[in-house]
């Protein structure tokens, strides 16, 4: 198992550009999440999904969109990049269906908007 | 949603036990307490989780009070590589399922 794979690892965007952060897991997990972490801060939940075709907003969803067409993939879309979106983004998955499940994190995507 | 409160930072001498506290006074009866840590800007790493009973694994021990309103993560023999931010998380239920909400965490610095 590769676990949770995020791409790219690093990216620099200009203001107003768009991009998609990719997240793929091969563990057949139902639950997937996107977090952002600003320098020196904790993790903030952007969006999450409890299964293919179902997504929900987290704490900080503005400026982002997600889709979940398959169990494996949970891409995060930035349509009009802003400097406030400079952050490190983490994707997480777990089996769900109960509370006693371990979560697996990707290694993160460092995004800088200039 | 149950929230957690942790100290912002703690120091520990190398080789000594590191005891990291967490308050979760609004925890529900079926919510678990999870601990993760993050070293530099790497992806957070799972450490341990528990419901009521104390738990121990190869990394740490988790002590949960009887009323479940607080818990303590114990690293029995801290090393320099244990320097990280430690997150205490309570599993919450959203409108469409469960989600994990992180607080600010505790910056643990292990000193030589």
Using a CB-CB distance cutoff of 8 angstroms, which residues of chain A are in contact with residue B102?
Answer: 35, 42-45
Structure tokens at A84: 């406030």
Residue A96 above 70 pLDDT?
no
Taking an 8 Å cut-off on Cβ atoms, the answer to whether B100 and A37 are in contact is no
Distance from CA of A51 to the nearest CA of B (A): 10
- B97, B104, B106, best to mutate vs chain A, most A CBs in 10 Å: B97
Q: What is the residue-wise DSSP string for B30-81?
A: TPPEEEEEE-TTSPPEEEEEESSS-EE-SS-EEEE-TTSSEEEEEETT--GG
Q: Which of B44, B85, B99 sits opposite A58 (nearest CB)?
A: B99
Taking alpha carbons only, the member of A57, A65, A68, A105 closest to residue A85 is A65
Taking an 8 Å cut-off on Cβ atoms, the answer to whether A99 and B31 are in contact is yes
| Whole-number average pLDDT of chain B | 86
- B28, B50, B92, B102, best to mutate vs chain A, most A CBs in 10 Å: B102
pLDDT in tens, B20-72: 999 998 888 877 888 888 887 666 777 888 888 899 998 999 999 999 999 99
pLDDT in tens, B72-90: 999 999 999 999 999 898 8
């Amino acid at each position: 198992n590769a676990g949770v794979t995020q791409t790219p690892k690093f990216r620099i965007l200009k203001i107003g550009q768009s991009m998609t952060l990719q997240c793929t897991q091969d563990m057949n997990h139902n639950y997937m999440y996107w977090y952002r972490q600003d320098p020196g801060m904790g993790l903030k939940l952007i969006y999450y999904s409890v299964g293919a075709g179902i997504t929900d907003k987290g704490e900080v969803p503005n400026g982002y969109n997600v889709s979940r067409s398959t169990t494996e993939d949970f891409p995060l879309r930035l349509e009009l990049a802003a400097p406030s979106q400079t952050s490190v983004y983490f994707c997480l998955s777990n089996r769900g269906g109960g509370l006693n499940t371990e979560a697996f994190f990707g290694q993160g995507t460092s995004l800088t908007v200039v | 949603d149950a929230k957690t409160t942790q100290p912002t930072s703690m120091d520990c001498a190398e080789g000594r036990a590191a005891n990291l506290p967490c308050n979760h006074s609004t925890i529900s009866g079926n919510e678990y307490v999870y601990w993760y840590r993050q070293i530099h800007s790497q992806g957070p790493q799972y450490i341990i989780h528990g419901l009521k009973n104390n738990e121990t694994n190869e990394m740490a021990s988790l002590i949960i009070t009887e009323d479940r309103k607080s818990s303590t993560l114990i690293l029995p023999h801290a090393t320099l590589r244990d320097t990280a931010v430690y997150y205490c998380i309570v599993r919450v239920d959203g409108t469409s399922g469960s989600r994990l909400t992180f607080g600010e965490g505790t910056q643990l610095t292990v000193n030589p």
